[in-house]
Amino acid sequence: MSRARADEEEYWHSSKFRAFTFDDEDDELSQLKESKRAVNSLRDIVDDDDDDDLERVSWSGEPVGSISWSIKETASSNTSSLEGRDSSIQKGSSSYAALPKQASSYSLSSLFKGRNKLPSFQSLSDAFSDTGVKNYAPELRRPKAEYKDYSSDWSPKDTVRRMQRGKVCSLERFRSLQDKLMLLDEAVAGHDGNVITAVLIFLKRTLRREILFRELEVRQVALCHLIHFLKETGEQKLLLDLLRFLDRTEEVALSQYREHLNIQDVEKRKEFLKGCIGLPFSAEDTSHIQDHYTLLERQIIIEANDRHLETAGQSEIFRKYPRKASILNMPLVTTLFYSCFYHYTEAEGTFSSPTNLKKTFKIPDKQYVLTALAARAKLRAWDDVDALFTTKNWLGYTKKKAPIGFHRVVEILQRNNAPVQVLQEYVRLVEDVETRLNLATKYKCHDVVIETYRDLKDRIQLTAYKCKVERGSAEEEKINSILNN
Amino acid sequence: MAAHLSSGRVNLTALREAGRRELREFLDKCAGSKAIVWDEYLTGPFGLIAQYSLLKEHEVEKMFTLKPGRLPQADVKNIIFFVRPKLELMDIITDNVLREDRGRSPQRDFHILFVPRRSLLCEQWLKEQGVLGSFIHREQYSLDLIPFDGDLLSMESESAFKECYLESDQTSLYHAAKGLMTLQALYGTIPQIFGKGECARHVANMMIRMKREFPGSQNSIFPVFDTLLLLDRNVDLLTPLATQLTYEGLIDEIYGIQNTYVKLPPEKFAPKKQGEGGKDLPTEPKKLQLNSAEELYAEIRDKNFNAVGSVLSKKAKIISAAFEERHHAKTVGEIKQFVSQLPHMQAARSSLANHTSIAELIKDITTSEDFFDNLTVEQEFMSGIDTDKVNNYIEDCIAQKHPLIKILRLVCLQSVCNSGLKQKVLDYYKREILQTYGYEHILTLNNLEKAGLLKPQTSGRNNYPTIRKTLRLWMDDVNEQNPNDISYVYSGYAPLSVRLAQLLARPGWRSIEEVLKMLPGPHFEERQQLPTGLQKKRQHGENRVTLVFFLGGVTYAEIAALRFLSQMEDGGTEYVIATTKLINGTTWMKSLMEKLEPVPF
């Protein structure tokens, strides 16, 4: 599979491509050490009273006097008094929260209406003056200057310019479709997304849907802004209508599919995903969505079953290795690992059996073997590992084969702390001699090293290796006997 | 405090000063004592403009972080919200305002300061919640371009790339144009504008339009910048995907630099005094500011990491020698001289200690097997080897469930270096990713496809080799210690974006017309008329100053490459860099990934 390590090194040394290596490894390291030493030795010399940096930095790291540091400082003096007041807060806020509901009943887009009328505000502030609340008598306190703005007859261009400067403008006087579109085009030409969006909100409110869609279709920039705006404000239905109108079917599908993330209940999520299968995705994506649905369906069945087994306490594997988390909403490969861990021996007919998963989702051999190997190695089920790589030919001879390469097998076993006896069996099967020697040396599989040198008839290396094995051990004897022959 | 901003060719202190002035003016509008409620994201960028002391001088007594619930008690007259115009933040503000104790006296006044721009959408949202009227001042603070260093400006707009290239929302481009207008107001009209890419074209158009519409902006300041170069990030999607190999680039790749600060694991920075043996080791990360105010950092930040060790060791020797001199100080005068130098020497020592520790931390990672393997594959792709088939290493990483972002970076890199992947290869990667990391990532893969980062090879032609050869993007004989070409920043790969800037200065883009056509978007040139009398007469040997604006983000390695060009003896051009956001491959990928958790509000 992956290029053998040795090959790689040779490749780098021989090829013209430069890897990011530290050629003078030791030198480089010693340079760092040297500067470290120098730094340390200087500590004794210097009085360390102010041994910190150029700038004062508190340990949390914020420079003293910086804004984020000050937030903590100024806020911390308050916390105690805040807690004491919590109970009274609760009482106060419940009646309080009801108030603004009235406010939302008047036309929301009156933001763009003339402010001199303000009938709803009037009544709202009246309501407040009864209770003596001054804070909610809102617009009355706005600076006078802003009231003047909408009385005059601004052209679309002027209106857009004013809006760009953050001034409030009335858009209501743009009544005809033509005027409205001129306004929109002017806003688009100004490139200020803020203004474009404001105009779009106005058009969305005052134009029939079909007309709005039709006009936006030929105004791509404005269209993008509206789509972004609808996404941001969560107006899913209108968004889907618009995308459908534009024949952007794949986007409709994806946008709808995205919704599943907001559904917490797994049963509902499953049903929702089922509904997504028929959406107009690309062919490739359709199969993924189908798989997503099938997987969740399986997980729900497995989860119910296993939770039962676990609480009943009769299954040994669950007693010995209690589950850390539910399998719901986990990726496919994680699910496969889970099933190789808890349900390895099950017949193919059950939903939770690894072979069933492999078949249903067409998991490639490599992926399957890797996952099964990791799961069985974790359980130290070495016989299963052995079986995973054993194939029988028609004469009944057995043969070892690994679709992922035996060097990978060794790595995974080693990571799961396999004993040397197990490990060396697979090191021996690594085909490339160089890699085999490297792995064997690294993981102290002495027998493999010795046999390999023997086969290579490399006396020098073999002699050198003698110092790596224990004195008086069987390995040393073995080396001696080979050297003597 | 901000001396490093004036160290470069263009004195950026003026820009910072302008920002401070505007802030003071706003604060003074809200008379009386104040508390500021901060959108946490903004504290970093604001910290580069002002310290708490400035706010305090203007009666800011308390500061809080914006969060739902009741505002903390504070006996102040004004509560000011400093926020980005985001709807989810408006919901929090609404909650705060609604829970305000209306029985309290005296009443507190509310204000909002939108950064960088007021948003009609947000105001409408507040109106829908019925709280808009509660705010007396609703203003904007145009913090468009924030000075990060003597030659570096950023808008720190995280979502700019996504908005421009995925959602075709040009708001951040509008802000960029605004920022450039502010710069021109301070540093004079920039006579020459070059650009490459759709967004660059838009920004140039906006600038020209703004200038026409606000004739008052015609100023009589002698131009500091000779040229503006606007570059779209999607002209060069390759560079940010590769692992940066400069010192600063690696710090950013590994630990993430935010608003010039980095947080590091504390172990290597344990307290130094022996007397405090009983004290616990610090568990909070060590936070350091990184900018050119620190002499040593300014010297090593842009070096290839392989060249950093030797500089540090040389510095160590110099400092040791300097401290040794105290033994030779015999006369009172000599001792006095030595003592007067002590503070500077101590600062230098402390700086050296920090960077030695950081270099050790980074070295642990760059010498790891996985870093090497990853880099090997990156360099193969960038030099054009085996880009058209499924890569074993990527396959292995997926099998071992390495972080998804790492996988995406590599797969996208392969796609970009092959002008798109063969359909079969693309489908294979997609399948592996979805099966291993979850099907919902189909949304992210789709985003990457829309941004052009991951796509099927449609034309059936791979243009990358032509681009690579013509622009000399791959250099075999790279010198990391004493570089003679910008390719040192990626140990072999010369960032495409910077190569474009370099070729523009000499011999001009006419020489690479063919390649420019292969890259997305138009390339163009505009001239802005200067009043007579302001036209520059260049002194012999005087360098030109070019402002390079990266729309959609720039990496530290690219900045290093431009600084290298500035310092070339016969270069003839000095560069100032501006961007919408300082990025690296990881933060960039993150900004393009679909948020899989529903936003809680």
Is A169 within a domain? yes
User: Is A78 close to B62, i.e. CB distance below 8 A?
Assistant: yes
Query: Out of A129-138, A435-444, B151-160, B225-234, which region has the weakest mean confidence (pLDDT)?
Result: A129-138
pLDDT of residue B341: 86
Same domain, A352 and A399: no
CA distance B358 to A25: 18
Task: Select from B52, B136, B357 the residue whose CB has the most chain A CBs within 10 Å, as the one to mutate to test that interface.
Answer: B52
User: What does the pLDDT average to over B448-454?
Assistant: 95
Search chain B and give the residue with CA nearest A260.
B440
Same domain, A340 and A431: no
pLDDT of residue B537: 67
DSSP 8-class letter at B304? B
Same domain, A283 and A351: yes
Is A300 within a domain? yes
Condensed to tens digits (0 to 9), the pLDDT of residues B199-212 reads 999 999 999 988 88
Q: What is the ipTM of this complex?
A: 0.87
User: What does the pLDDT average to over A338-353?
Assistant: 92
Condensed to tens digits (0 to 9), the pLDDT of residues B359-397 reads 999 999 999 999 999 999 999 999 999 999 999 999 989
Query: When comparing pLDDT for B571 and B208, which is higher?
Result: B208
Q: Which of B73, B121, B124 sits opposite A78 (nearest CB)?
A: B73
Residue with tokens 């150029």: A54
A470: pLDDT confidence band, cut at 50, 70 and 90? confident
Decide if pLDDT at A2 tops 60.
no
Query: When comparing pLDDT for A136 and B531, which is higher?
Result: B531
List of domains in chain B: 3-143 (3.40.50.2060), 144-239+495-600 (3.40.50.1910), 247-269+281-367 (3.90.830.10), 385-405+415-462 (1.25.40.850)
User: What does the pLDDT average to over A60-87?
Assistant: 53
Is A114 within a domain? no
Same domain, A189 and A281: no
Chain B residues touching residue A108 (CB < 8 angstroms):
124, 127-128
Condensed to tens digits (0 to 9), the pLDDT of residues A102-116 reads 333 333 333 333 333
Instruction: Give, to the nearest 10 degrees, the angle between helix B404-416 and helix B585-592.
Output: 100
pLDDT of residue B595: 77
- Length of chain B in residues, anyone? 601
Search chain B and give the residue with CA nearest A374.
B400
pLDDT of residue A142: 40
User: B235 Cβ partners below 8 Å, 6+ apart?
Assistant: B196, B197, B496, B497, B500, B519, B520, B521
Distances (CA, A) of A1 to A86, A157, A405: 63, 65, 6
- Say if residue A241 is exposed, middle or buried (CB neighbours under 10 Å; 0-12, 13-18, 19+): middle
A363: pLDDT confidence band, cut at 50, 70 and 90? very high
Q: Is B34 left (phi over 0), alpha (psi -120 to 50) or beta?
A: beta
Same domain, A223 and A298: no
Task: Select from A135, A169, A277, A292 the residue whose CB has the most chain B CBs within 10 Å, as the one to mutate to test that interface.
Answer: A135
Q: What is the distance in angstroms between the Cα of B566 and the nearest Cα belonging to chain A?
A: 25
Chain B residues touching residue A74 (CB < 8 angstroms):
61-64
Which residue, among B179, B174, B87, has the nearest Cα to B142 in the 3D structure? B179
Same domain, A229 and A316: no
Search chain A and give the residue with CA nearest B345.
A46
Search chain B and give the residue with CA nearest A107.
B128
Q: What is the distance in angstroms between the Cα of A85 and the nearest Cα belonging to chain B?
A: 9
Q: Which of B102, B443, B491 sits opposite A18 (nearest CB)?
A: B491
- Label each residue of B518-547 as H, E or C: HCCCCEEEEECCCCCCCCCCCCCCCCEEEE
A75: pLDDT confidence band, cut at 50, 70 and 90? low
The model's pTM is 0.84
Decide if pLDDT at B308 tops 90.
yes
Across all residues in chain B, what is the average pLDDT? Answer: 90
DSSP 8-class letter at B261? E
User: What does the pLDDT average to over A63-67?
Assistant: 61
Decide if pLDDT at B458 tops 90.
no
Chain B residues touching residue A62 (CB < 8 angstroms):
287
Search chain B and give the residue with CA nearest A289.
B439
User: Is A331 close to B437, i.e. CB distance below 8 A?
Assistant: yes
Domain boundary among A363, A394, A413: A363
Domain boundary among A247, A274, A309: A247
Condensed to tens digits (0 to 9), the pLDDT of residues A217-250 reads 999 889 988 998 898 888 889 999 999 999 999 9
User: Is B342 close to A46, i.e. CB distance below 8 A?
Assistant: yes
Condensed to tens digits (0 to 9), the pLDDT of residues B407-433 reads 999 999 999 999 999 999 999 999 999
Is A132 within a domain? no
Q: How many domains does chain A have?
A: 4
CA distance B252 to B489: 14
User: Is B173 close to A295, i.e. CB distance below 8 A?
Assistant: no
Same domain, A267 and A354: yes
User: Is B360 close to A195, i.e. CB distance below 8 A?
Assistant: no
Condensed to tens digits (0 to 9), the pLDDT of residues A194-211 reads 889 889 999 999 999 999
Residue by residue, DSSP assigns B111-166 as: EEEESS---HHHHHHHHHTT-GGGEEEEEE----SEEEETTEEE---TTHHHHHHT
Same domain, A466 and A386: no
Residue with tokens 């947080």: B263
The tally of CA atoms less than 13 A away on the side-chain side of residue B373 is 17
Is A387 within a domain? yes
Decide if pLDDT at A149 tops 50.
no
Is A4 within a domain? no
pLDDT of residue B569: 80
Structural domain including A452 reads 445-484
Q: Which of A17, A38, A104 sits opposite B320 (nearest CB)?
A: A38
Same domain, A239 and A279: no
> Residue type for B452, please?
G
Tokens of B285: 């990360």
CA distance A255 to A258: 5
Domain boundary among A440, A457, A473: A440
Search chain A and give the residue with CA nearest B281.
A59
Search chain B and give the residue with CA nearest A102.
B130
pLDDT of residue A145: 43
Task: Select from A16, A27, A35 the residue whose CB has the most chain B CBs within 10 Å, as the one to mutate to test that interface.
Answer: A35
Same domain, A269 and A356: yes
Q: What is the distance in angstroms between the Cα of B428 and the nearest Cα belonging to chain A?
A: 11
Same domain, A203 and A232: yes
Q: Which of A8-17, B226-235, B258-267, B586-595 has the highest mean pLDDT?
A: B226-235
Task: Select from B163, B442, B473, B481 the residue whose CB has the most chain A CBs within 10 Å, as the one to mutate to test that interface.
Answer: B442
Is A275 within a domain? yes
Is A69 within a domain? no
Q: How far apart are the first and last CA of chain B?
A: 38
Same domain, A184 and A239: yes
Task: Select from B82, B95, B109, B124 the residue whose CB has the most chain A CBs within 10 Å, as the one to mutate to test that interface.
Answer: B124
Condensed to tens digits (0 to 9), the pLDDT of residues B519-544 reads 999 999 999 988 777 776 666 678 89
The enclosing H or E element of B25 equals: helix B13-29
pLDDT of residue A152: 55
